[in-house]
Each structure stands twice: as C-alpha cells, then as structure tokens.
Amino acid sequence: MYGITGANGQLGRLVINNLLAMVPANQIIAVTRHPARLEEFAVQGVQLREGDFNEPALLPVAFMGVKRLLIISTDDLTGGNRSEQHGQAIRAAKEAGVEHLFYTSAVNPDPDSENPLKRDHGLTENHLKESGLKWTALRNNIYGDGLAGMLQPSLSNGKFFIPQGEGKTGYVAREDCARVAALILAGKPDLSGPVDITGPEALSYRDLGQRISEVLGKSIEVEALSNAELQAHYISNGLPPEAAGGLVWINSMLAQGGFEVVSDTVKKVTGIDPTPVDVFLEPLKA
Ligand SMILES: NC(=O)c1ccc[n+]([C@@H]2O[C@H](COP(=O)([O-])OP(=O)(O)OC[C@H]3O[C@@H](n4cnc5c(N)ncnc54)[C@H](OP(=O)(O)O)[C@@H]3O)[C@@H](O)[C@H]2O)c1
C-alpha cells in the first residue's frame, strides 16, 4: 500500500494523478486534513483518510496498512513548527508499521542554518535518519512554476531590478517533482537516501534578466538594489508592504546562494527532459 500525506495540496494531487497510472487505485491511501475535497480520487478507488500533523495521536490510524509513505512537507512556516510536525508524522508512521519513508525535502538542507527553509528540511532529514526505517529524501529545488509572478514586480520601464548576490538556482517544475516522486514511491526505481530533483540548469538573477530579454525579444537592463530599495520599488509597483517584504525575503535568499544544484534525476527517473526555465518565463509576455 502507498500512502501520501498532504494529498489535497498542489503537489499531492499531481503525485496521486501520476501514481494512478502506475499502481491500482485501491493500493493508494490519500491522507489529508480535507478528505471531502478529494472525492474525485475516491470515485476512482483511492482510500481517503483524515490526517493532520498537528494532531499526531490520530496519525497512526491514518497510516495503518501503508508500507511506502510519502510525507509532503507542510507549508506551515510559522514559529519553526514544521520540522516538529514532520517529526510527529515520522514517529506515527513507524508506529503504524510503515517500512519506507519518502519526504519532500529541499536541496542542501542544513539543520544549523538560520534560513528556516534549509533548517526545517535539515532537521526533518535528521528525524528520518533517527527513525531507523528506510528513507528517501526527495530534495526538490525551487519550483519554477511561480517564477513569472515572482519576477513581474521587479520589472518596469525596460529595467529588471534584482537583489544583491550572484547565487544561482536550479528551478524545477512542480509537475516534474510530482512525476519523480510518484515513480520513486512506486519503486520505479527503488531509491534510498537523498535524491536531488532539479531543473536542467542553475541561473542567477542576472542570468534571468538575460533570459527575460530573450523571451520578450527586447533588451532589459539589469540593476541590483539593496533590500530596502527593492522593497520600496515593489511598493511603488503596487504591492502591499507585507507582500513586498515577503518577495524581498525570497528573492534575496535565493540571491545569497545555496540552491545552485543541478541533477539529472528528472531525465533518469522519468525518461523525459526537465522543463526548461524559459517555459516559466513565458507568462511575462502577457
Ligand atoms: N520547492 C519549492 O519551491 C516549494 C515551494 C513551495 C512549497 N514547497 C514545499 O512543498 C510542499 C508541497 O508543495 P505544494 O506546491 O503542494 O504546496 P501547497 O499546495 O501549498 O500545499 C501545502 C501542503 O501542506 C500540507 N499541510 C499543511 N498543513 C498541514 C498539517 N498540519 N498536516 C499535514 N499536512 C499539512 C497540505 O496538506 P492538506 O491540505 O492535504 O492537508 C498540502 O499538501 C509545500 O507544503 C512546501 O513544504 C516547496
């Protein structure tokens, strides 16, 4: 039996859709906080179970019968709670008799990092190791799907305002991550340990400026700003202050580096080339 937590999330739904093409539906258990939203899978024969990492006492029941469990990391970035949520899920999985854990981690996780993204995944990978179970960390690089939306406020009057720092990122499509996760969960192939899942190349913000020029077919001037200047620019471009602050945070974090990881996992596991970055930039034409 195959289990997937976070089944109602964007990645969870894509993983289930991919998995349905590989294993019988009655061998899939979809665990979510919102089972009522997954009727489309129930009618195909997928078992739905309620599961919330904030209610760990109920999780062993949700995981009962599962042998291979994909734990999708939560989106709860408040208060450093996430690695503890994942730890609860891992302990419950062990209690329920799960044999092999799969976890959606990130490239270069680091339990000692000040960056909560890297720290949460690093701490969770420690929980995986401590579980004594077989484990696989699906280390997804940053999704490229939202790239156009993320960069659009940085563009105005032929200029592209970027954060300071030359860090590069190997942007990957969520769909590619889902296809790889489903195949590995199904044991095709049966991989253990950390697996980097990335796009085909790593690009800095300066590189992205060049790519945007090519995609738009016109020259874009790149200018690096301090975080305060970037924030002021986003606000002048119509973003509310909180959203502007969040965007500065993510852009400056990526510019500082640590995501310059490129692997051939997508091609090796799926047989399909990973989605090129230019595809993510196409919406900027509109
Ligand atoms: N690589 C990247 O660039 C990137 C970007 C964004 C997010 N992520 C990470 O990848 C994960 C999956 O991405 P996504 O695109 O599917 O995100 P999403 O659509 O925002 O989904 C959020 C996920 O968090 C789960 N979740 C939230 N609170 C939970 C709780 N208390 N207990 C159990 N599950 C909980 C949700 O499960 P249910 O609603 O089904 O309960 C859902 O699967 C995210 O949650 C985040 O950790 C990675």
| HEC per residue, 101-167 | EEEEEECCCCCCCCCHHHHHHHHHHHHHHHHCCEEEEEEECCECCCHHHHHHHHEECCEEEEECCCC
Residue 21 to residue 81: CA distance in whole angstroms: 35
Kindly state the tokens that stand for 252: 């400056």
Residue 200 C-alpha from the chain's centroid: 16
Average pLDDT over residues 207-228: 97
User: Do residue 152 and residue 11 come from a single domain?
Assistant: no
Could you tell me the distance, in angstroms and rounded to a whole number, from the CA of residue 254 to the centre of ligand 1?
A: 20
Residue 149, domain member (yes or no): yes
What separation in Å is there between the alpha carbon of 222 and the centre of ligand 1? 33
Pair type for strands 155-156 and 159-163: antiparallel
In this structure, which residue's CA is closest to atom 46 in ligand 1? Answer: 75
CA of 25 to the centre of ligand 1 (A): 23
Residue 198, pLDDT > 90, answer yes
Same-domain check for residues 101 and 217: no
Domain hosting residue 224, numbered range:
141-173+197-262+269-286
Strands 221-225 and 100-106: unpaired
Task: Please classify residue 43 by burial: count the beta carbons closer than 10 Å to its beta carbon, then call 0-12 exposed, 13-18 middle and 19+ buried.
Answer: exposed
With respect to residue 277, please indicate whether it lies within any of the assigned structural domains: yes
Determine the longest span between alpha carbons in the chain, in angstroms: 59
Indicate if 146 and 249 belong to the same structural domain: yes
Torsions phi, psi for 235 (to 5 deg): -65, -40
38: in domain: yes
Please check the confidence at residue 12 and state whether its pLDDT lies above 70: yes
Residue 134 within any structural domain of the chain: yes
Residue with the smallest CA separation from ligand 1 atom 12 is 11
Indicate the DSSP class of residue 50: E
- pLDDT-derived band at 78, boundaries 50, 70, 90: confident
User: Looking at the domain assignment, is residue 184 inside a domain?
Assistant: no
Residue 181, domain member (yes or no): no
Out of 10, 16, 70, 75, mutate this one to test ligand 1's pocket (max ligand atoms within 8 Å of CB): namely 75
Are 154 and 90 in a shared domain?
no
Q: What is the pLDDT of residue 246?
A: 95
Residue 186 within a domain: no
Is residue 47 assigned to a domain? Answer: yes
What separation in Å is there between the alpha carbon of 67 and the centre of ligand 1? 22
pLDDT score recorded for residue 249: 95
Residue 79 pLDDT:
64
- Do 245 and 106 have their domain in common? no
Percent of the chain with pLDDT over 70: 99
Q: 115 with 201, same domain?
A: no
Report angle CA 48, 197, 53 to the nearest 5 degrees: 35
Give the pLDDT score at 77.
80
Mean pLDDT of the chain: 97
Instruction: State residue 80's pLDDT score.
Output: 66
- The structural domain count of the chain equals 2
| 81 pLDDT higher than 90 | no
The Å distance, Cα 24 to ligand 1 centre, comes to 25
Q: Are residues 117 and 212 in the same domain?
A: no
pLDDT in tens, 151-171: 999 999 999 999 999 999 999
pLDDT at 227 over 70: yes
Residue with CA nearest ligand 1 atom 7:
75
> CB within 6 Å of ligand 1 — which residues?
5-12, 32-34, 52-54, 72-76, 85, 104, 140, 142-143, 174
Same domain for 162 and 127? no
Segment 88-113 shows an average pLDDT of: 98
Cα separation, 68 vs 22, in Å, equals: 14
- Tell me: do 134 and 158 sit in the same domain: no
Distances in Å between the Cα of 127 and the Cα atoms of 1, 30, 101, 103, 179 are 23, 22, 11, 11, 25
Same domain, 53 and 126: yes
Instruction: Please tell me whether residues 27 and 83 are part of one structural domain.
Output: yes
